Structure 1
């Protein structure tokens, strides 16, 4: 799994990465993941054509929450966080193009759902990416702004 682009294991049920290849989706399935959440746009430079069919043909569920990298929205983060809460007992793989969107959204999940101490959150992706003002504002969103269930 470590060879998948910008892979991060969050816990036993959740992992994140950049865009997996078709063969990597097979490995993800073989590792017991049941659900894939894609946060990238369908036309990302490394997107897989018909990713939904690739994932579902392997027997995994597929959710696509397209987030414009230049204009992330609190509503999209809310949909993501509430979806992830509903999937709490399932093994979920979350990805976007480079694992920047996924890491920012997972930061909110750590902060508002898991209550993870800041020092225990894996933020190595931020060594490569400095979030824009829009992403920084989103990551500062409150529990109330995110309308969490």
Structure 2
């Protein structure tokens, strides 16, 4: 499977899972040519930069669309359960998971890896750290008490 590094914060988790920030309509078509059959979006449709009709674009490309709107300031346990269900629901599907910046997604994969799923915790942490260091809003969610009281920091900007 090819990589698409021109898509914002593109990352490959493994042969069946890729992640990124918000792809454009044209980039969704490129993602589909990689054999992706399902797109999971953790970015709320009201976020700046979200596509006007992402579900329609994804459907027109023959992929399924899973929408799990995670409010950045308050990720929930239900969001995480829905994420796990989307990843585990069709184990043979090639899946692309995105949000607006790949911050939510990388934090979700880090927490998922902490349970022993898909990739090592160290690899998931390195992936997340290459994008951002979650702070206070995310400390409990990613089960990192050291982040409590810290600001969210972004690679290339704050460290």
Q: Of 104, 109, 115, which residue of structure 2 is paired with 1:112?
A: 115
Which deviates more, 41-50 or 110-119? 110-119
Per-residue deviation, 1:132: 2.4
Per-residue deviation, 1:127: 4.4
| Structure 2, unaligned runs of 5 or more | 145-159
Per-residue deviation, 1:84: 0.9
Matches within 5 A, 1:2-81: 2-81=5-84
Quote the residue 1:145 is aligned against: none
Q: Return the alpha-carbon distance in structure 1 between the equivalents of residues 30 and 21 of structure 2.
A: 15
Per-residue deviation, 1:113: 4.8
Q: Of 130, 134, 143, which residue of structure 2 is paired with 1:131?
A: 134
Quote the residue 2:148 is aligned against: none
Q: Normalising by the residue count of structure 2, what TM-score does the alignment of the two structures yield?
A: 0.82
Per-residue deviation, 1:117: 3.1
Per-residue deviation, 1:83: 2.0
Per-residue deviation, 1:128: 4.6
Q: Return the alpha-carbon distance in structure 2 between the equivalents of residues 53 and 39 of structure 1.
A: 16
Quote the residue 2:86 is aligned against: 83
Per-residue deviation, 1:118: 2.6
Q: Return the alpha-carbon distance in structure 2 between the equivalents of residues 128 and 12 of structure 1.
A: 20
Q: Normalising by the residue count of structure 1, what TM-score does the alignment of the two structures yield?
A: 0.87
Which has the higher relative contact order, 1 or 2, with Cα contacts under 8 A spaced 6 or more apart?
Answer: 1
Quote the residue 2:150 is aligned against: none
Q: Secondary structure at the match of 2:97?
A: strand
Q: Secondary structure at the match of 2:40?
A: strand
Q: 1:12 to 1:122 in 2, by over 3 A?
A: farther
Instruction: Please tell me the root mean square deviation across aligned C-alpha atoms, in Å.
Output: 1.7
Pairs aligned (count): 141
